[in-house]
Chains A and B, each alone.
Chain A
């Protein structure tokens, strides 16, 4: 007898994604939606989207949504959460959004221990604007604004956001996951769900960085992009839990 093992999460709208083939944004949307479904929080969740390829997250995740300006989602989320403390608030942000223009907002939301969940999609590049250097672009990685590859002497070293936020006192959970193979996807799913669970329990700021691919702007096949995450990205951005709340995990 046929058995259904997987179906579209309820909190994902039934429509085709606009993302490029092999892009992980859609998959990560799915994981967020599954977490929302399993915790049964869809009716009280407000999502805040970024500027970047994920800007249309509001079309796909079936909760109330806000489209914030570039990098400011953590401040917008702060406003929502302060206005409605009973709601579940998450931001969904790329690395250009969060680690370049939005560094101030993310650091201060984390430092306040704002009771929100941040899903940070790190694809080491500016996707939407056509593949320019991000603060997370690896040394040597070529981009349209680093045609010879990122030079540490010129552009400095890539920012490891989890490590940076981990110097702060207040965050409850900081974790880096990846979605480049099924085992990692399973773990990513668990961490994203935990992050929402901890918010529900009022434990404070929860942060999940997801290593993600951009085959289009990396100029790679989707398969090579997975290998790039496995070999190169996860070497500089170790997949690990940096901090879990007491009694967490």
Chain B
């Protein structure tokens, strides 16, 4: 059996990427993801790959664009302000249908904000953060093990869809140490007949471009992209349900917030409160189905986030007014205590009872 090692989240991503056959890594330092680029600088060349510290995030993402065009597995990582700078390039990568893995170890903003963990880049990640009508497959790990496993998956899915995949973590996940079984990857070689590797013996030259001046052609291109996103929804929506069967309220939370919420759910259960958790593992596509199913039974939801409320909008969209959706979040790098979340659960459960009895409960 594979050996278990103790590793920092950022380093687990880097090691998993190398094992997944990442050949080119381009980065620019920013806290709290520096261990990732430092690990790559140290280990990727030993594995026969290329590491380059770039002049900027803009340089880095465009180097990923070039390396991916050339048919190799390429990756970049950064944190919030750096990801903002990469957005132009991400739009071009999506437009040109290139695979790429982009890691965002989120810190708090807006602006220079602070270096503490946050989940305030949800909108930027799950909607098109750059210009145009595109989406990324967004993976939201909640443990060091998942950081490693989802990194491998990210490379596979990026190639499969010819689309950028984002790993959305945060400073807690990037910095914490946990035991991890590093994934064994058997094959990372994928046939890429579209790659600009030099014409060689092909009869046709390859072109990587996102330019379509003819409106009908661009419409067709956009529809093709949309069909990929539809396929992602059908085949690659991932989530975890915890104690939801008999739940009278369900928390929806991802990443670090899901870990804190899991602790709150366990505390609640010890008190005999019927609460559950749905943890989205893909943020795009968002797991609408399990939420809708519970909403149809009238189960209320509490979205817990390290932000002022972004994912909660997707919960509401999934619920479509069928049941109440509450929100609890802390921001600016403040991390809620599970007890705080438990209090919110109790408050919401009481207000639900109040609603049932026709009396005025706590405010929604």
Q: Do A and B bind each other?
A: yes
With A64-B205, A69-B89, A75-B58 as contacts: A82 and B196 at CB distance below 8 Å? no
- CB pair B58 A82 closer than 8 Å: no
Q: How far is the CB of A108 from chain B (nearest CB, A)?
A: 4
Q: Is A203 an interface residue (CB 8 A)?
A: no
Q: Is A235 an interface residue (CB 8 A)?
A: no
Given contacts A65-B207, A69-B89, A69-B92, is CB(A79)–CB(B198) below 8 Å?
no
**Contact B67–A44 (Cβ < 8 Å):** no
Residue of A nearest to B195 (CB): A64
Per-residue interface assignment for chain A, residues 65 to 94, with 1 indicating a CB less than 8 Å from any chain B CB and 0 otherwise: 111110010011111111110011000000
Q: Is A58 part of the binding interface, using a Cβ–Cβ cutoff of 8 Å?
A: yes
Contact A80/B62 with A42-B199, A65-B196 known, Cβ cut-off 8 Å: no
A43 interface residue, CB < 8 Å from B? yes
Asked whether B23 is an interface residue with its Cβ less than 8 Å from the other chain, the reply is: yes
Residues 162-197 (chain B) with a chain A CB within 8 angstroms: 196-197
In contact, A104 and B196 (Cβ under 8 angstroms)? no
- Please give, as numbers and ranges, the residues of chain A lying within 8 Å of B124 by CB-CB distance: none
Whether the Cβ atoms of A67 and B55 lie closer than 8 Å is no
Is there contact, CB below 8 Å, between B52 and A46?
no
A90 to chain B: closest CB distance in Å? 12
- Smallest Cβ distance from B101 to chain A, in angstroms? 14
Q: Which of B54, B58, B66, B210 contacts A80 (CB 8 A)?
A: B66
A230 within 8 A of B: no
Contact in complex: B69, A87 (CB < 8 Å): no
Report how far A77 CA is from B196 CA in the complex, Å.
11
B254 cross-chain contacts in A, Cβ below 8 A = none
Q: Which residue of B lies closest to A87 (CB)?
A: B198
B50 touches A83 (CB 8 A): yes
- How many Å from the CB of B53 to the closest CB on chain A? 10
Interface flag for A63 (CB, 8 Å): yes
Which residues of chain B from 55 to 75 have a CB within 8 Å of any chain A CB? 55-56, 58-60, 62-72, 74
Q: What does the 1/0 interface line of B196-235 toward A look like (CB < 8 Å)?
A: 1111110001111111000000000000000000000000
Q: B55 contacts which of A79, A82, A104 (Cβ < 8 Å)?
A: A104
Residue numbers in B under 8 Å from A48 (CB-CB): 66
B208 touches A83 (CB 8 A): no
Is there an interface contact between B198 and A43, defined as CB atoms closer than 8 Å? yes
In the complex, what's the smallest C-beta–C-beta distance from B77 to chain A, in angstroms?
15
CB <8 Å contact, B207 and A69: no
Q: In the bound complex, do residue B62 and residue A75 qualify as a contact, i.e. CB atoms below 8 Å apart?
A: yes
User: Does the CB pair B65–A68 fall under 8 Å?
Assistant: yes
Nearest-neighbour CB distance to chain B for A52, whole angstroms, equals 12
CA of A58 to CA of B211, assembled, Å? 11
Are B200 and A76 closer than 8 Å at their CB atoms?
A: no
Indicate if B24 sits at the interface (CB-CB under 8 A): yes
Of the candidates A43, A77, A80, A88, which one forms a contact with B200 in the assembled complex, judged by CB atoms under 8 Å apart? A43
**Would A76 and B55 count as touching, CB distance under 8 A?**
no
A75 and B67 contact, CB distance less than 8 A? no
Q: 1/0 per residue B28-71: CB within 8 Å of A? A: 00000000000000000000001010111011101111111111
In the assembled complex, the CB of A41 is this many whole angstroms from the nearest CB of chain B, namely 9
A80 touches B199 (CB 8 A): no
Which of B56, B198, B207 lies in contact with A58, CB distance below 8 A? B207
What are 13 A-to-B residue pairs whose CB atoms are below 8 Å? A44-B198, A46-B70, A46-B197, A63-B199, A68-B65, A68-B92, A69-B89, A75-B63, A75-B66, A76-B63, A83-B72, A104-B56, A105-B55
Residues on B lying within 8 angstroms of A by beta carbon are 23-24, 26, 50, 52, 54-56, 58-60, 62-72, 74, 88-89, 92, 96, 196-201, 205-211
A residues adjacent to B (C-beta < 8 A): 42-46, 48, 55, 58, 62-69, 72, 75-84, 87-88, 104-105, 107-108
